[in-house]
Amino acid sequence: MWELVRANKRKSLMLFILMGIVLLSLGYFIGLYVKPPEGGTAGLLIALAIWGILSLISFFQGNKIILAISHAKEVTPDIHPRLFNVVEEMKIAAGLPKMPKVYIINEEAPNAFATGYRPDNAAIAVTSGLLARLNRDELQGVVAHETAHIFNRDVQFMTVAGIMLGSIVLISQLFLRSMLYSGGRYRSDSKGGQGQIILLAIALIFAILAPIAAQLLYFAISRKREYLADATAVRFTRYPEGLASALEKISVNTSELKSANKVTAGMYIVNPLKREGMRLSDLSSTHPPISERIRILRSIAGGAGYLEYQKAFQQVTGKAQHIIPSSGLKEEENAALRDKPLETKTQATAKENKRILGDLMMTVSSFTFLNCSCGLKIKVPPEFTKKQVQCPRCGNFLPLVK
Amino acid sequence: MTTTLIILAIVILLIFIFIGMYNSLVRLRNAVKNAWSQIDVQLKRRHDLIPNLIETVKGYMVHERELLEAITKYRASAMEAQGVGNISRAEGALSGALGRLNIAMENYPDLKANQNFLALQEELSSTENKIAFSRQNYNDQVMMFNNKIEMFPSNIIAGMFNFKQAEFFEIEDKAEREVPKVSFK
């Protein structure tokens, strides 16, 4: 397993170098076009500066920003003991140095994500819709998938790659827009000539192609990492059916996650945004098709090792592609699968679950609960400042102590 | 002069390699120790939960007295066990008995209405999971450490400084665990 993390690090380093070259040459050629010949260096430095600033922001604040725009609330163990237990189980299975922080997002759409630069500084967020729908084994599968992202350093990798992609897109957009509005004004204040036109062509081609190439690269890697996280999750739980049936339940859902956007979409366990045309978007999707992931998980037969996942992947997709770096397969010792679910207990009904979760979210958002003598439970929002509340059923006044 | 320098460089290089190998052995041994202490925490937690569990289910599961007594006995011997081999045997027996209890609970629908019991069951099944996962992690670490001790060239250093192979935490055969046959004396 650790060999795999190392192989991942090597691979991502190569990708970063590649994207870095694209980023710097983009800056260089634009600079060169704007003010030849000394502008090249300036353009390069500006590109570097943009990247540096974005990286610094994400390094120090990225976690907080992402959790804030997703409306995730940190919770304590007493609010949802089961979620905490499951996260701790996966922390143990992965041998993480520290317990990830646990967040709940109050949304109906079932989904989850992980963030954090380092394994000792990670967080896992799940939506309340997910908690309401999944049983223990399924929840464990989802949390295992997220823990796998932390363990495989995917979060770190996707953030760094995402920042590079963002810088490339930003710079190209700036250049293309300025070209559009200035109508190629820069050309007139230089001596002109063939060299200038060639430079313009190179700068334009770079500005148009670089973001597309970088995006496709980013998406391809993102999809691959999803498969890898599934494989690692199976390795952690030894129970592929948990994750498979969780994905199945999640895929039935049709509501869109309101707090997700294009930037954060890649982080979730399944794509939180609604898909338009299927086929065409396959290349530009951050996630592999869910049905395929489920089929792969269900065809794992021989054990919980990476090699078994690789076999199942090839069998289902018919592609000879290697999802797992071969260095990860070599050292691999297979492990037996767990054959039966841990929980035989029947689940509470969907309605009960919703009520429980509704109360839970209110506790999270610091609502006050009052029990009226007539048997009504009054839930008071934190914005309410008066000293007493009137019970809507019996009309009694209840003192409000916060 | 040049030859002396070359020889000196080689010696220094060897010393560095030597130090590196020694350090990685120490690191792995500490990882094994750390993984073991994680198992230990969870085993203690299980031992703490059992009396509580028995107290809760005793009133309901009147027909399972023998099983409950067996669990108490296994718990006592698991708490006394010393050394990885003995502990894993004793804990294995305890796991088996708890597994049977879990199956037997299915016959007592009243239990499931008891909130106290449900919370306890979540704690217990989570602890069982944590034991299984920390065992998984421990065994992975032990395998890495043992490989390093056996493999050339680190085996030389392991031999010199007396690094001993660590013991796996095994749980007895699954089939044996699930068949409910125990002889109560």
Mean per-residue pLDDT over chain A, rounded: 78
For the domain B38-178, what is the CATH code?
1.20.1440.20
Single pTM value for the model: 0.76
- What number of CA atoms fall less than 13 Å from residue B95's CA on the CB side? 23
A98 and A238, same domain (yes or no):
yes
Cβ within 8 Å, pair A81-B128: no
Q: For A142-178, how does the pLDDT look when each residue is reduced to its tens digit (9 = 90+)?
A: 999 999 999 888 887 877 888 888 888 888 888 888 8
Note down the domain range covering A381.
365-402
Query: What pLDDT score was predicted for residue A312?
Result: 83
Look at residue A276 and tell me whether its pLDDT is greater than 60. no
* pLDDT per position as a tens digit, A359-400: 777 776 667 777 777 777 777 777 777 777 888 778 778 777
Tell me which of A338, A355, A387 is where a domain ends.
A338
- Both A251 and A325 in one domain: the answer is yes
> Span A283-292, mean pLDDT?
74
- Residue where a domain terminates, one of A294, A320, A338: A338
Q: List CB contacts (< 8 A) between A99 and chain B.
A: none
The 10s digit of each residue's pLDDT in B78-127 is: 888 888 888 888 888 888 888 888 888 878 888 777 778 888 888 888 88
Chain A residues with beta carbon closer than 8 angstroms to that of B42? 92
A109 and A212 share one domain: yes
**pLDDT at site B119:** 83
Q: Which residue has the higher pLDDT, B157 or A329?
A: B157
Give the 3-state secondary structure of residue B73. helix
- What pLDDT shows up at residue A59? 78
The C-alpha R_g of chain B, in whole angstroms, comes to 24
- Across the interface, do A88 and B130 touch by the CB < 8 Å criterion? yes
| Domains identified in chain A, total number | 2
Closest CA to B152 of B54, B40, B2, B17: B17
A237 and A382 both lie in a single domain: no
Terminal CA-to-CA distance of chain A, rounded, Å? 50
Is A384 a member of any domain?
Answer: yes
The β-bridge relationship of strands A101-105 and A72-74 is: antiparallel
A342 to chain B, any CB pair closer than 8 A? The answer is yes
One domain, residues A51 and A103: yes
CB contact under 8 A, B119 and A81: yes
Question: Pairing between strand A101-105 and A123-127?
Answer: parallel
pLDDT in tens, chain B (185 residues): 889 999 999 999 999 998 989 998 999 999 899 888 888 888 888 888 888 888 888 888 777 888 888 888 889 888 888 888 888 888 888 888 888 888 888 788 887 777 788 888 888 888 888 888 888 888 888 988 898 888 888 888 888 888 888 888 876 544 444 444 444 44
Please tell me whether residues A397 and A253 are part of one structural domain: no
- Domain assignment present for A164: yes
